[in-house]
Chain A
Amino acid sequence: MRYMEKQDYILCECELVPLEKFVASIEDNFEIKIARMPSICMTMIQAEDSVEFQPFYLGEALTTECEVIVNGQKGYGICLGDEPLRSYCIAFIDAITQLQDVDPEPVNNFLNEQAALIEQADKIEYNYIMRTKVDFKLMEQD
């Protein structure tokens, strides 16, 4: 996953409360304009069959998008679901991470901290799932 995608991954998958708290703690340092209020729309999900790679449309997914301008820099926030607050936070962080004169450390620290939490939660779920791994034996086998 490229850096931009990794950042979005963390911001989409982390808990909303710490994300909101983090953005609230730094947003007063910036001049923020809302170019597009968070609004719901749809994304058509493209899929393909796994053998012949025949593309087809699987169905749509509810999506929220938001656009902000922070210190003159545009930022877009897109996430699945009806998530107005999260889309705003993603847009805000997208904008500030593109600004040249902003110290990246607070954002990076937040992202690293959240990435570790997401990874741990995923690992735990994966380990619950792996408890159901099975090795069936045929009746004539020992």
Chain B
Amino acid sequence: MGYVAVKGGTDAIHNSQELVEFYRLRNAATPLDVNQIRSQLRLAVDKVIGEGGLYAPEYAAIALKQAEGEVFEAAFILRAFRTTLQRRFYSETINTREMFVKRKISASFREIPGGQILGPTRDYTQRILDTGKAGETAHEVKSFLEAFESKIDRGKLQDIDTYGKVIDLLKQEGLLKTIDPNDDRTLTDITREAIKFPAPRSARLQMMARAETGGLMAMGYSSMRGFGSAHPTVGELRYGSVPVMIKDPSGRTRYAGKIEVTEAEMVSSVSIGKKNAIPKFTIGYGLCFGQNDTKVICMGILDTTMRSPDVNAPANDQEFVLYHTEGIESMGFTNHLKLPHYVDFQSVLGGIREAIKRNGEKTPEKKPEVAEMEQ
């Protein structure tokens, strides 16, 4: 059913926008400070930068405030904003082996290089509503921070370290599947050229990096439940910050700052296919802006499944995965259903009435208010 263009209603639309602001602010004793959103709604900000495809935590916090906390809408705002900016630079390839690690775990090995570091996680806690948060005071915040900061001895600080990867150990042992020479290793940019299927792996990884977390999770979960081919293990999951290097207009390599990313290497075992072939491990890769374990785990699962195309398994079908996890487009299409479809609907309505009449079924008299609706 197609929608139609309509005109008029400018005043109502304007008033509706004002009403949004009214509902956003009417019970606000004090306006939300953007820095508060950035620090205290850190994971929401991370989702917005990831799905908006623009690493700009300060602007993501504004978008969240503007969208009343609606992450889809905030990501949409951020993605629209990025279209107003010129892309002036390409960074050098970021190196996650240089990461300032804030979290690093493996579900495959108990002992990993540098040990397992839980970092900031709610993984091992009970999800009990902490009603104490309702009355949290500035004094309590200060007391917590002081107590927390006193838990380390500043006179005996351990030096910062970077860590080898679990997958490097598997690779050194020859346990990983070698690169398929038939793989399309072209580097494409899906923001500059429309995606075509089958898409090269670079396009798939780029699309998943800015896909919607819930969409990726649904697809990844479907594969794990049996509607796909993969049920891997977390080889390594790490979260932290990595440096970004850029060549300036004079050609010199410059440090421009650091970005926070989460990375997952998902390990699956595969048999090569030929008779008596030795089974090897294959790695599915996930990387996204900010801290988002669920997203990178599912990205890693889907990186694996999409390498074994199968139109009967949604998670193994590139087009199915990539189009339906693209949050902004999915949301846009879903919400277009609210646009006026009056003409097409009237035509269908007329058709159904005619069919009923032809069939000899008696229908009640059309009420005057229905007749009015159809004018």
The answer to whether A binds B is yes
Interfacial residues, chain A to chain B (CB-CB below 8 A): 1-2, 4-6, 8-9, 12-13, 40-52, 54-63, 65, 67, 74, 76, 78-82, 122-124, 126-136, 138
Given the complex of chains A and B, what is the CA–CA distance between A1 and B85 in angstroms? 30
User: Are B152 and A131 in contact, CB atoms less than 8 angstroms apart?
Assistant: yes
Contact of B205 with A by CB under 8 A:
yes
Return A65 CB to nearest CB of chain B, in Å.
Answer: 7
The residue on B at minimum CB distance from A5 is B255
Closest 4 pairs (CB-CB, A-B)? A80-B257, A62-B56, A61-B55, A49-B285
Interfacial residues, chain B to chain A (CB-CB below 8 A): 49-50, 53-56, 58-59, 82, 85-94, 96-97, 100-103, 110, 115-120, 148, 151-152, 154, 157-160, 165, 167, 171, 176, 179, 183, 185, 187, 189-191, 201-203, 205-206, 209-210, 243-246, 248-250, 252-259, 261, 263, 265, 283, 285, 287-289, 303
User: Are B100 and A126 in contact, CB atoms less than 8 angstroms apart?
Assistant: yes
Given the complex of chains A and B, what is the CA–CA distance between A45 and B66 in angstroms? 27
Q: Which residues of B contact A135 (CB under 8 A)?
A: 115-116
Query: Given A48-B93, A130-B158, do A61 and B244 touch, yes or no (CB 8 Å)?
Result: yes
Say which residue of B101, B117, B248, B250 sits within 8 Å of A134 (CB atoms): B117
Q: List 17 A-B contacts (CB under 8 A).
A: A12-B256, A13-B257, A43-B87, A43-B244, A44-B90, A44-B91, A47-B93, A47-B94, A49-B287, A50-B167, A54-B185, A58-B94, A58-B209, A59-B206, A76-B250, A81-B58, A132-B118
Query: Given A41-B89, A122-B100, A131-B151, do A58 and B201 touch, yes or no (CB 8 Å)?
Result: no
Q: Which residues of A contact B179 (CB under 8 A)?
A: 52
Q: Which residues of A contact B210 (CB under 8 A)?
A: 59
The residue on A at minimum CB distance from B96 is A50
User: Are B256 and A44 in contact, CB atoms less than 8 angstroms apart?
Assistant: no
User: Are B158 and A55 in contact, CB atoms less than 8 angstroms apart?
Assistant: no
Return B371 CB to nearest CB of chain A, in Å.
Answer: 53
User: Are B115 and A133 in contact, CB atoms less than 8 angstroms apart?
Assistant: yes
Given the complex of chains A and B, what is the CA–CA distance between A132 and B201 in angstroms? 35
User: Are B87 and A42 in contact, CB atoms less than 8 angstroms apart?
Assistant: yes
Return B162 CB to nearest CB of chain A, in Å.
Answer: 11
Query: Given A59-B54, A61-B55, do A45 and B259 touch, yes or no (CB 8 Å)?
Result: yes
The residue on A at minimum CB distance from B252 is A4
Q: Which residues of B contact A54 (CB under 8 A)?
A: 185, 201-202, 205, 285
Query: Given A43-B88, A56-B202, do A130 and B117 touch, yes or no (CB 8 Å)?
Result: yes
Given the complex of chains A and B, what is the CA–CA distance between A50 and B152 in angstroms? 33
Q: Which residues of B contact A2 (CB under 8 A)?
A: 253
Given the complex of chains A and B, what is the CA–CA distance between A116 and B348 in angstroms? 73
Return A123 CB to nearest CB of chain B, in Å.
Answer: 5
Q: Which residues of A contact B97 (CB under 8 A)?
A: 50
Q: Which residues of A contact B148 (CB under 8 A)?
A: 128
User: Are B252 and A79 in contact, CB atoms less than 8 angstroms apart?
Assistant: no
Instruction: From A43, A46, A47, A124, name the one whose CB has the most chain B CB atoms within 10 angstroms.
Output: A47
User: Are B89 and A63 in contact, CB atoms less than 8 angstroms apart?
Assistant: yes
Return A29 CB to nearest CB of chain B, in Å.
Answer: 24
The residue on A at minimum CB distance from B87 is A42
Given the complex of chains A and B, what is the CA–CA distance between A97 and B59 in angstroms? 33
What 5 new A-B contacts, CB under 8 Å, besides A41-B85, A45-B259, A61-B56? A5-B253, A9-B255, A50-B97, A62-B56, A79-B257
User: Are A76 and B115 in contact, CB atoms less than 8 angstroms apart?
Assistant: no
Query: Given A57-B206, A60-B87, A78-B246, do A129 and B201 touch, yes or no (CB 8 Å)?
Result: no
Say which residue of B110, B152, B187, B287 sits within 8 Å of A128 (CB atoms): B152
User: Are B87 and A127 in contact, CB atoms less than 8 angstroms apart?
Assistant: no
Given the complex of chains A and B, what is the CA–CA distance between A139 and B261 in angstroms? 33
Return B69 CB to nearest CB of chain A, in Å.
Answer: 21
User: Are B265 and A42 in contact, CB atoms less than 8 angstroms apart?
Assistant: no
Given the complex of chains A and B, what is the CA–CA distance between A128 and B185 in angstroms? 40
The residue on B at minimum CB distance from A80 is B257
Given the complex of chains A and B, what is the CA–CA distance between A79 and B250 in angstroms? 15
The residue on A at minimum CB distance from B288 is A58
User: Are B116 and A41 in contact, CB atoms less than 8 angstroms apart?
Assistant: no
